[in-house]
């Protein structure tokens, strides 16, 4: 949690963290600064343990900067424009500005630098910073980064924000079921008063729900039918008409507008009666979800649950990714991931055996097993979001039913 940052800096022997915000979204900057960060296009944040953070900001955004409650100064107060004129290069001037800010704050020793920017450009910025500020050392972060570790556990306000996004996802699935249920079959294809019901039509209905809830879809969504459902990250063909008996994998992962919190939920639906093979695969994936949720324990190694799901699927005759990393059919991905200001955070419920992530109290993560057989036009995934509560219990935050079949109106 954010309150852990000071202790993590001390534990890792760091004198400060320098967090740089450019035009590209920086989720750690948003995490540390809070909601006012949504209105700061650029900024430099210096975080020293035991001190009020210092924010360097643009003059036009001074009111948003003031709302942070941090100590602050604007770029003009540091003479940034004059630096650019003298250097003839924004990058060289940025290195000078960073050196000045660190000197003004008497930062010495190892400094953790964090940012989201063009890697090639900032390689030279940081090299020049090193020569201009010999009193600091640019520290290498650990494998589980300091801010990754802090962001992995959520406070009650963060969970409350996630619940609002979850509720909107629930409404989006209700809208999808309503559209399917309001149609009728002509042969095997679904039609309603607006015409053929397509994947694109469902996608537009989802967008309407999210727009009304002030949510965004920075990464789009997945509404994939048939063979597309059998390739996990195929987004689906908008022109495809929904057909009776075919799996439709619907994976929604919206975020609060302006760079807020995400939710991530997947269900697999079928128009009308599902074929026996699809029903059986869906039941198997559903059981994998339930087995995982029932077996969760505080501080348990996160990767352990991937192994348990592989054990289960293999016992049912399905191949898994641990048998072959190039696998294209069967269970071909990890079990889940943390979620927060980014759609993929820590902990990681998969990965290599060296993965040391744990399900610590406060973590928020997905459980999303799936079985994929594109050669048979089949794909099933079910995804829930689970909160590891501070009292050691686990709460499923996903307000969406698991029902596979959606019956359309009579022809």
Give the pLDDT mean for 196-223: 98
Give the pLDDT mean for 380-398: 98
Taking CA 145 as the corner, what is the angle to CA 16 and CA 115, rounded to the nearest 5 degrees?
65
* pLDDT surpassing 80 at residue 246: yes
Other C-beta atoms closer than 10 Å to the C-beta of 404 total 21
The answer, yes or no, to whether the previous bond of 347 is cis (omega within 30 of 0) is yes
Distance CA 405, CA 113 (A): 50
- Quick one: CA dihedral 179, 398, 261, 161, positive or negative? positive
Distance CA 75, CA 65 (A): 12
Return the bridge partners of 271, or none.
Answer: 244, 406
Give the pLDDT mean for 380-390: 98
Number of separate helices (H) and strands (E) present in the chain: 11, 22
Other C-beta atoms closer than 10 Å to the C-beta of 338 total 25
For the stretch 95-136, pLDDT in tens is 999 999 999 999 999 999 999 888 899 999 999 999 999 999
Predicted local confidence at residue 38, as pLDDT: 85
pLDDT band, very low/low/confident/very high, at 359 (cuts 50, 70, 90): very high
Q: How far apart are the first and last CA of the chain?
A: 54
For the stretch 169-191, pLDDT in tens is 999 999 999 999 999 999 999 99
Predicted local confidence at residue 167, as pLDDT: 98
218: nearest Cα among 174, 266, 258, 254: 254
Give the pLDDT mean for 338-367: 95
Distance CA 1, CA 7 (A): 11
Distance CA 391, CA 91 (A): 48
pLDDT band, very low/low/confident/very high, at 258 (cuts 50, 70, 90): confident
Predicted local confidence at residue 303, as pLDDT: 96
pLDDT band, very low/low/confident/very high, at 411 (cuts 50, 70, 90): low
Distance CA 260, CA 168 (A): 14
Other C-beta atoms closer than 10 Å to the C-beta of 209 total 20
For residue 5 the two structure tokens come to: 């940052």
Give the pLDDT mean for 10-33: 94
Give the pLDDT mean for 54-69: 96
How is 67-93 classified by DSSP, letter by letter? Answer: TT-SEEEEGGGGTHHHHHHHHS-HHHH
Distance CA 229, CA 250 (A): 9
Other C-beta atoms closer than 10 Å to the C-beta of 122 total 19
- What CA–CA distances, in Å, run from 132 to 95, 136, 407? 8, 10, 69
pTM for the full predicted model? 0.94
Q: Can you tell me whether residue 391 is helix, strand or coil?
A: coil
Element (H, E) at 181: helix 156-181
**Domains by residue range for the chain, with CATH:** 2-150 (3.40.350.10), 153-406 (3.90.230.10)
263: nearest Cα among 275, 252, 248: 252
Q: Can you tell me whether residue 48 is helix, strand or coil?
A: coil
pLDDT band, very low/low/confident/very high, at 24 (cuts 50, 70, 90): confident
Give the pLDDT mean for 388-397: 97
* pLDDT surpassing 90 at residue 204: yes
| Token pair 């000071």: residue | 6
For the stretch 267-314, pLDDT in tens is 999 999 999 999 999 999 999 999 999 999 999 999 999 999 999 999
pLDDT band, very low/low/confident/very high, at 158 (cuts 50, 70, 90): very high
């Amino acid at each position: 949690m954010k309150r852990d940052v000071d202790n993590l800096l001390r534990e890792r022997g760091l004198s400060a963290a320098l967090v740089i915000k450019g035009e590209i979204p920086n989720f750690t900057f948003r995490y540390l600064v809070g909601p006012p960060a949504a209105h700061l296009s650029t900024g430099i944040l210096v975080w020293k343990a035991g001190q009020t953070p210092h924010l360097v900001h643009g003059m036009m955004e001074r009111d948003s900067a003031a709302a942070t409650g941090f100590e602050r100064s604007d770029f003009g107060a540091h003479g940034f424009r004059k630096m650019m004129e003298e250097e003839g290069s924004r990058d060289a001037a940025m290195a000078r500005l960073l050196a000045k800010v660190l000197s003004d704050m008497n930062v010495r020793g190892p400094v953790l630098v964090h940012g989201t920017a063009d890697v090639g450009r900032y390689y030279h910025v940081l090299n020049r910073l090193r020569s201009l500020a010999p009193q600091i050392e640019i520290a290498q972060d650990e494998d589980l980064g300091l801010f990754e570790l802090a962001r992995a556990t959520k406070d009650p306000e963060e969970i409350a924000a996630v619940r609002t996004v979850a509720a909107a996802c629930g409404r989006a699935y209700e809208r999808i079921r309503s559209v399917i249920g309001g149609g009728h079959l002509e042969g095997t294809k679904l039609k309603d008063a607006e015409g053929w019901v397509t994947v694109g039509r469902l996608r537009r209905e989802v967008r309407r729900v999210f727009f009304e809830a002030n949510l965004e879809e920075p990464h789009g969504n997945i509404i994939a039918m048939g063979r597309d459902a059998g390739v996990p990250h195929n987004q689906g063909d908008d022109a495809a008409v929904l057909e009776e008996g075919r799996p439709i994998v619907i994976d929604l992962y919206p975020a609060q507008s302006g760079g807020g919190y995400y939710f991530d939920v997947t269900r697999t639906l079928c128009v009308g009666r599902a074929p026996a093979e699809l029903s059986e695969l869906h039941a198997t994936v559903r059981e994998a979800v339930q087995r995982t949720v029932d077996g969760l324990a505080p501080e348990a190694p996160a990767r352990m649950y991937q192994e348990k799901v592989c054990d289960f699927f293999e016992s049912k005759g399905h191949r898994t990714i641990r048998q072959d990393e190039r696998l294209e059919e069967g269970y071909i991905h990890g079990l889940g991931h943390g979620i927060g200001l980014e759609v993929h955070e820590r902990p990681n419920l998969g990965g290599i055996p060296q993965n040391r992530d744990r399900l610590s109290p406060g973590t928020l993560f997905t459980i999303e097993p799936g079985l994929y057989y594109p050669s048979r036009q089949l794909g099933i995934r079910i995804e829930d979001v689970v909160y590891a509560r501070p009292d050691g219990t686990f709460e499923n935050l996903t307000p969406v039913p698991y029902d596979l079949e959606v019956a359309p109106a009579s022809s």
